[in-house]
Amino acid sequence: MALSLRRSNEQESDVRPFIREIRQYATVRELDEGILNRLISRILVGEVKKVGGEKFQEIKIIYNFVGEILAVTE
């Protein structure tokens, strides 16, 4: 239980700087290199895979402060 609570507190402390940082860019209409470098740690691009005749490629964006944010998809 204590380990879980400590992880939760660490995640919360990581999220706070991200929220402060992202607020600066709330009204930005166009991303530029400086903004991307400030917000994103790295982008991982997977191999192209063919499934049912369609091509798919996994892309993961790793953000500064918070890591990967998993998208909810159907």
Q: What is the pLDDT of residue 4?
A: 53
pLDDT confidence bin for 46, thresholds 50/70/90: very high
Model confidence pLDDT, tens digit, residues 5-26: 455 555 566 677 778 877 887 7
pLDDT at 44: 93
Residue type, 54: E
Q: Cα(2)–Cα(51) distance, rounded to whole angstroms?
A: 44
Average pLDDT, the chain: 79
Enter the tokens of residue 59: 């892309």
Structure pTM? 0.57
